[in-house]
Amino acid sequence: MYTMIGTASPADHPAVAALLDASGLPRRDVTDALLAHFLVAKGGDELLGVIGLEPLGDVGLLRSLVVAASHRGRGLGIELTRALERHARDQGVAQLFLLTTTAERFFGKLGYETIPREDAPPPIQGTTEYRELCSSTSICMVKTLD
């Protein structure tokens, strides 16, 4: 079955929440409005992956990347990340930041560089994910989009 990547809709909210919960990723601040900047990968009606953007002017927070456990290791994480980068560019985002405790090597392969958390710009430091949802030990990474 083909995997389609597209924009999330409010109808996807329960399945997105379940996927984030299954990986222990934060979702308390994921509203339907924010979901408009989430991309979902589907095989038929099944949600196989998700990734989100918080656009904050010319910077953005990449967040909520999960691929269903049954579909990992097939390149879907990379595809979702590349699609999110295109979406971010379309939104006028020049630099994408992210916080991770689990996927530093994954994002490193895709050109993201680790920086001290404190070097994240104020809009990123103001996000719920930065302030509350991720532990102070999480790694901050950044990529300048072409």
Ligand X SMILES: CC(C)(COP(=O)(O)OP(=O)(O)OC[C@H]1O[C@@H](n2cnc3c(N)ncnc32)[C@H](O)[C@@H]1OP(=O)(O)O)[C@@H](O)C(=O)NCCC(=O)NCCS
Binding site for ligand X (CB under 6 A): 23, 25, 65-67, 72-78, 100, 102-103, 105-106, 109
Nearest to ligand X of 73, 116 (CB atom): 73
Smallest distance from the beta carbon of 96 to ligand X, in angstroms? 12
Smallest distance from the beta carbon of 75 to ligand X, in angstroms? 4
Nearest to ligand X of 65, 120 (CB atom): 65
- Residue at 43: amino acid letter: G
Direct distance between the N- and C-terminal alpha carbons of the chain, in angstroms, rounded to an integer: 32
Smallest distance from the beta carbon of 50 to ligand X, in angstroms? 9
Distance CA 78, CA 83 (A): 9
Shortest-Cβ-distance residue relative to ligand X? 77
Nearest to ligand X of 106, 128 (CB atom): 106
Nearest to ligand X of 34, 106 (CB atom): 106
Strands 46-56 and 59-67: antiparallel
38 Cβ contact partners less than 8 Å away, ≥ 6 residues apart: 7, 8, 12, 16, 30, 50, 51, 52, 53, 64
Smallest distance from the beta carbon of 140 to ligand X, in angstroms? 11
48, 3 in Cβ contact below 8 A?
yes
